[in-house]
Amino acid sequence: MEMQIRPLYGRVLEGKDNFGYNAAIGEYGDLVEAGVVDPAKVTRTALQSAASIAGLILTTDAAVAEAPKDEKPMQSATPELEY
């Protein structure tokens, strides 16, 4: 079943307070009355985990780098001449 999000989103914005789209049954209505509840602890934990992973990715990107190479200047084919 493929859904288009934009039409759903627009209709949900027109509704009040607990109005939304119940994807399990494919109907609009009061989500609290329908028993669709999003526990605050689950949402908070998901957000904290996402922030933690994002921070880890950002710091890992900065920590993983090539070590600088000790490049010696290239020697010339002819020795330096003294004047």
Look at the alpha carbons of 42, 46, 51, 55 in this order and tell me if their dihedral is positive or negative: positive
What is the pLDDT, as a whole number, of residue 26? Answer: 86
* pTM: predicted TM-score of the whole model, two decimal places: 0.41
Q: Can you tell me the mean pLDDT for 16-33?
A: 87
pLDDT digits (tens, 9 = 90+) for 5-19: 677 777 788 888 888
Partners of residue 27 on adjacent β-strands: 22
Furthest-apart CA pair in the chain: how many Å? 97
Task: Indicate whether 2 pLDDT > 70.
Answer: no
pLDDT of 35-76, one tens digit each?
888 777 888 999 999 999 998 888 876 666 678 888 877 776
> What residue spans define the domains of the chain?
5-61
